[in-house]
Chains A and B, each alone.
Chain A
Amino acid sequence: MKSLTLEAKPARRFSLGYLDGQLVAILVILATLIVVSSILSPTFSTPQNLANVTRQAVALGIVAVGQTFVILTAGIDLSVGSTISLTSVLAAGLMAGVPERQIPVVVGILLLGGAIGLFNGLVIMRLRVAPFIVTLGTMSIIQGVVFLYTKNPVGKIPISFRYLAEGDLGPIPFPVLLYGVLVVVSVFVLRRTTFGRYIYATGGNEEVARLSGINTSFVTVAVYVVCGLSAAATGLFLTSRLRIGQPLIGQGYELDSITAVLIGGTVLAGGRGGVVGTVAGVLIMTVLSNILNLMEVTSYWQWVIKGLIIISALAVYRGNR
Chain B
Amino acid sequence: MQTETITVDVGQQVIAARDRAERIKKMLRGSAIYLILAALIVVAAIASPVFLRARNITNLLKQASLLGVVSVGQTFVILIGGIDLSVASVMALMSVLAANLMGGQDGLVLPVVLLCLGIATGIGLVNGLMVTQLKIPAFIATLGTILIVQGIRFVYTGGAPKGSIPEGLRFWGRGDIGGIPTALIVWVVVIVAAVLLLRQTTFGRRLYAVGGNPTTSHLSGVSVNTIIISAYMICSFLAGVAGLLLTGYIGLADNWLGRGYELDSIAAVVVGGTLLEGGRGSVLGSAAGVLIMVILFNLVLLLNLDEETQRIIKGLVIIGALALYARLQNRAS
Interface size class of chain A, counting residues whose CB lies under 8 Å from the partner chain: 35 or more
Given known pairs A136-B318, A145-B312, the reply for A311 and B326 (CB within 8 Å) is no
Which of chain B's residues 85-112 have a Cβ closer than 8 Å to chain A? none
Residue on A with the closest CB to B329? A128
Contacts of A127 in B (CB 8 A): 322-323, 326
**Bound complex: CA A271 to CA B49 (Å):** 54
Give Cα A314 to B144, complex, Å. 10
A144 in contact with B148 (CB, 8 Å): no
Chain-B contact segment, one of A34-42, A197-205, A217-225, A301-309: A301-309
Q: Using an 8 Å CB-CB cutoff, how does the interface string of B302-331 with A read, 1 for contact, 0 for none?
A: 000010111111111011001101100000
Contact indicator A134/B148 (Cβ below 8 Å): no
Partner of A300 from B151, B313, B319 at Cβ < 8 Å: B151
Is there contact, CB below 8 Å, between A129 and B322?
yes
Q: Which residues of B contact A307 (CB under 8 A)?
A: 143-148, 151
In the assembled complex, the CB of A202 is this many whole angstroms from the nearest CB of chain B, namely: 18
Alpha-carbon separation in the docked complex, A123 to B143 (Å) = 26
Partner of A303 from the list B140, B141, B154, B316 (CB cut-off 8 Å) is B154
B53 at the interface (CB under 8 A from A): no
B276 at the interface (CB under 8 A from A): yes
Q: Does B130 sit at the interface, judged by CB under 8 A?
A: yes
Judge whether B154 and A311 touch: CB under 8 Å.
no
Inter-chain contacts of B151 with A (CB < 8 A): 300-305, 307
Known: A308-B144, A315-B136. A140 touches B312 (CB 8 A): yes
Which chain B residues lie closer than 8 Å to A151 at the CB level? 308
| Min CB–CB distance B326 → chain A (angstroms) | 4
Interface residue? A33 (CB, 8 A) = no
- Given A127-B326, A128-B326, A141-B315, A148:B146 Cβ within 8 A: no
B85 to A: closest C-beta gap in Å: 9
B203 at the interface (CB under 8 A from A): no
Q: A76: which B residues are within 8 A, CB to CB?
A: 139
Contact of B155 (CB < 8 Å), options: A143, A259, A300: A300
- Report whether A144 and B137 are in contact in the complex, using a CB–CB cutoff of 8 Å: no
In the complex, what residues of B have CB within 8 A of residue A314's CB?
134, 136-137, 140-141, 144
* Residue A188 CB within 8 A of the other chain: no
Determine which of A128, A144, A262, A303 lies in contact with B312 in the assembled complex, contact meaning CB atoms within 8 Å: A144
As a 0/1 sequence over residues 258 to 297 of chain A, the CB contacts with chain B under 8 angstroms (1 = contact) are 1100100000110000000000000000000000000000
Asked if A304 contacts B137 (CB within 8 A), the reply is no
Question: Which of A128, A133, A258, A319 contacts B318 (CB under 8 A)?
Answer: A133
Bound CA–CA A36/B318 (angstroms): 46
A88 nearest CB across to chain B (Å): 17
Query: B176 contacts the other chain (Cβ, under 8 Å)?
Result: no
Q: Once bound together, how far apart are the Cα atoms of A314 and B147, in whole Å?
A: 15
Residue pair A133, B312 in contact (C-beta under 8 Å): no
Residues of A within 8 A of B319 (CB): 123, 134, 137-138
Residue in B263, B315, B316, B323 whose Cβ sees the most chain A Cβ within 10 Å: B315
Instruction: Check A138/B315 contact, CB under 8 A, given A129-B322, A130-B277, A307-B148.
Output: yes
Interface assignment of A103: CB less than 8 Å from any CB of chain B:
no
A128 to B135, CA, bound (A): 26
Q: How far is the CA of A255 from the CA of B86 in the complex (A)?
A: 13
Residues of A within 8 A of B313 (CB): 144
Chain A: minimal CB distance from B264 (Å): 9
B77-91: CB near A (< 8 Å → 1, else 0) gives 000000100000000
CB pair B147 A137 closer than 8 Å: no
How far in angstroms is the closest Cβ of chain B from A132? 6
Closest CB pairs A-B (n = 9): A144-B311, A307-B147, A141-B315, A304-B151, A303-B151, A140-B315, A144-B312, A137-B318, A147-B308
Contact sample, A vs B, 19 pairs, CB 8 Å cutoff: A123-B323, A127-B322, A130-B277, A133-B266, A133-B318, A137-B314, A137-B316, A141-B312, A148-B308, A255-B143, A259-B143, A298-B155, A304-B155, A307-B145, A310-B140, A311-B134, A311-B141, A314-B137, A314-B144
